[in-house]
Chain A
């Protein structure tokens, strides 16, 4: 099997399974949504087709059965129900498992996987394919009472019955065909609810030839048959009559729906209409001939849509729907043609190379500066600017929207809230926010834990909520936005919030704090991120295993991010995750302390000032009337040596808090390729990574969030020393 084809199928199939899942979740919320049914069906159909192409019979067989049920759903033969959605969702999960089997190159699924699939198929068959409660059979066709039929010769019908307008040719009787026998045959397809015989074509008695036919009929006809089937009734007389078959209003909606559900193939307008059943092939042939004639007789060539509408064989609205479908498919194909799938490894390699280029560029620039040649300096500065642009463009390639990750939680919230017996609405905002693919990939697990925790511990049961004067339906929000070079992701629930007293007690029991410790509300609730902390009284499947929040924090920190919780007891909790936009290359601000160089991420630098005379012991300064705490990097990193005559303060900001970092020299902006620190330096506080300077020396990248936190905790500590606790 072609490896590339297999990989393409696996990726495509994953996308389609997500589309199926999204469609099912939408359908469950809005059972009338034909778009969702169409999307689910199309996704299943694509999976089945793809499985056939890559000769994955076990997937093809399974999807085929699922597709049968979906087909019934699409045709209105099955009502949308929670049970059906749940079962199809389980089938999606199973398809995911089968896909993994295929992706791992195994010829068949393991017996237990196979057995699970068989159980699902049996349930599908028993519940929905054998004695399915056919929605359509329960709904009686609205029988049109016998309205007076007017001679129209093919006008548009406004009733809910088919309108058949037929004028037989004068020669039909001579050919041995009796018009009345066609009407009898028509009755085998349905019921004629009204009929008017038309004899406008009959000449005066003297000229009337009894062997010629002068008859025509205007018929109201109730049937479930298609237009093509009705037309087939008149097949033998088709060339010797004028026939117009106009669909009922309800049928027009069906055509519109079918047009929308057609596979996304490049089709001509006429083909779309024939595929949807709004037009028969012979009507289309007639229309094309008429278009050809019109083209020959005039310079202006009418569109086939206009010709068909003028011939009264199809409604304007149906033609418009087909035209817009055609345009949409064309547009999508054009967009798809502009897209290209690239293996992530290739992108990673490119980013690595760009990183090396940035370092080499810095080296060249340094040499140019040392040489003092203005032309060389100019040339390297242009080169540096270009390298910067290439860096940004390369990083942009790896940017993906967070929406896809967020959307996965629709299913999680649905399943978990069903399991917990709670009513929870998930609201997603900022789904278009972009961040590095490598960050997104590692974000799934921490987010999953936060969401499950919110469902399990945060949002209360409906009766509790009502007793507290809240809506019985809880709301869980996932929000993402960009904020000063970081991505902020929030998980917000309107549940009961974190119980501060319980947390305090638990922390004391676990020995995390002393019984008499004085902690701010913020410090108290953030204790939940300590290892082994869990206040759940009952361990459930959703969360509460007590291994969660510390792992969440560790995962976020490994992404150079931070997490904190904002809590209002009784009103809900907001977990805020801050992450860097990328993990590869950043704009940095280079500083020097002694002989060492440190890089501060530029996005967190607010301004730089000179450190005026402050006492050795003081760790704050007056910044335009504002108290600014600072850290001396010499002290933080234990750097000895002579103090320079002049020291500088780099003022940084993180999560709304400002702090100063005292350095010796300010060396300016610097493109920083982040090199991770080895495991040996894992526990190093205040350093987020390392980079290589143009000179080949190593500079440490400062972990601003950690340093700001350190400053603020020192500040709080000194504050407490000044104002001792009263209890």
Chain B
């Protein structure tokens, strides 16, 4: 679900920013999702 929401958010905007300051930890699944998103953003020439 989260993957779908994040990819949709990337498609609909030019500039996407995550505020993770409230998060205390992240697991590998979260990390690889962020990596995926970063890769997609670069592929679409977004930041």
Which residues on A are within 8 Å of B, measured CB to CB?
168, 173, 178-180, 197, 199, 202, 205, 208, 210-211, 213-215
6 A-B contact pairs sorted by A residue (CB < 8 Å): A173-B28, A178-B27, A199-B32, A202-B36, A205-B36, A214-B32
B36 touches A213 (CB 8 A): no
Q: Which residues of A contact B2 (CB under 8 A)?
A: 210
Min CB distance B3 to A, Å, is 5
Q: Is the interface of A mostly helix, strand, loop or mixed?
A: loop
Min CB distance B32 to A, Å, is 6
A213 touches B32 (CB 8 A): yes
| B29 CB-CB contact with A under 8 Å | yes
Q: Which residues of A contact B29 (CB under 8 A)?
A: 173, 178, 210-211, 213
Q: How far is the CA of A210 from the CA of B2 in the complex (A)?
A: 9
Q: Which residues of B contact A214 (CB under 8 A)?
A: 32
Q: How far is the CA of A180 from the CA of B30 in the complex (A)?
A: 11
Closest to B35 in A: A199
Min CB distance A455 to B, Å, is 73
Given A180-B27, A210-B3, decide whether A205 and B32 contact each other with a Cβ distance below 8 A.
Answer: no
B36 touches A208 (CB 8 A): yes
Q: How far is the CA of A168 from the CA of B28 in the complex (A)?
A: 11
Closest to A203 in B: B36
Closest to A197 in B: B35
Q: How far is the CA of A202 from the CA of B28 in the complex (A)?
A: 13
Q: How many B residues face the partner with a CB closer than 8 A?
A: 14
A202 touches B27 (CB 8 A): no
A178 touches B3 (CB 8 A): no
Q: How far is the CA of A613 from the CA of B39 in the complex (A)?
A: 120
Q: How far is the CA of A90 from the CA of B9 in the complex (A)?
A: 80
Q: Which residues of B contact A173 (CB under 8 A)?
A: 28-29
Q: How far is the CA of A202 from the CA of B39 in the complex (A)?
A: 10
A-B pairs, top 6 by smallest CB distance, nearest first, are A179-B28, A210-B3, A180-B28, A178-B28, A178-B27, A199-B35
Min CB distance A236 to B, Å, is 14
Q: How far is the CA of A211 from the CA of B2 in the complex (A)?
A: 11
| B7 CB-CB contact with A under 8 Å | yes
| B20 CB-CB contact with A under 8 Å | no
Closest to A183 in B: B28
Q: Residue among B27, B33, B36, B40 with the most chain A CB within 10 A? A: B36
| B31 CB-CB contact with A under 8 Å | yes
Q: How far is the CA of A215 from the CA of B35 in the complex (A)?
A: 10
Question: Which of A180, A205, A208, A211 makes the CB contact (< 8 A) with B31?
Answer: A180
Given A178-B27, A179-B28, decide whether A202 and B3 contact each other with a Cβ distance below 8 A.
Answer: no
Q: Which residues of A contact B33 (CB under 8 A)?
A: 210
Against A, the Cβ 8 Å flags (1 = close, 0 = not) of B1-15 are 011000100000000
Q: Which residues of A contact B35 (CB under 8 A)?
A: 197, 199, 202
A199 touches B39 (CB 8 A): yes
Given A208-B3, A210-B2, decide whether A215 and B40 contact each other with a Cβ distance below 8 A.
Answer: no
Closest to B37 in A: A205
A205 touches B27 (CB 8 A): no
B28 touches A215 (CB 8 A): yes
Q: How far is the CA of A262 from the CA of B45 in the complex (A)?
A: 60
Closest to A182 in B: B28
Closest to B27 in A: A178
Given A202-B36, A205-B36, A205-B40, decide whether A215 and B31 contact each other with a Cβ distance below 8 A.
Answer: yes
A202 touches B32 (CB 8 A): yes
Q: Which residues of A contact B26 (CB under 8 A)?
A: 180
Q: A205-B3, A210-B3 are in contact. List 8 more A-B contacts (CB 8 A).
A: A168-B28, A178-B27, A178-B28, A178-B29, A199-B35, A208-B36, A215-B28, A215-B31
Q: How far is the CA of A213 from the CA of B29 in the complex (A)?
A: 7
A205 touches B28 (CB 8 A): no
Q: Which residues of B contact A211 (CB under 8 A)?
A: 29
Q: How far is the CA of A179 from the CA of B26 in the complex (A)?
A: 11
Min CB distance B45 to A, Å, is 15
Min CB distance A722 to B, Å, is 111
Closest to B7 in A: A205
Q: Which residues of B contact A208 (CB under 8 A)?
A: 3, 36
Q: Which residues of A contact B3 (CB under 8 A)?
A: 205, 208, 210
Q: Which residues of B contact A210 (CB under 8 A)?
A: 2-3, 29, 32-33
Closest to A173 in B: B29
Min CB distance B4 to A, Å, is 9
Q: How far is the CA of A599 from the CA of B17 in the complex (A)?
A: 113
Min CB distance B12 to A, Å, is 15
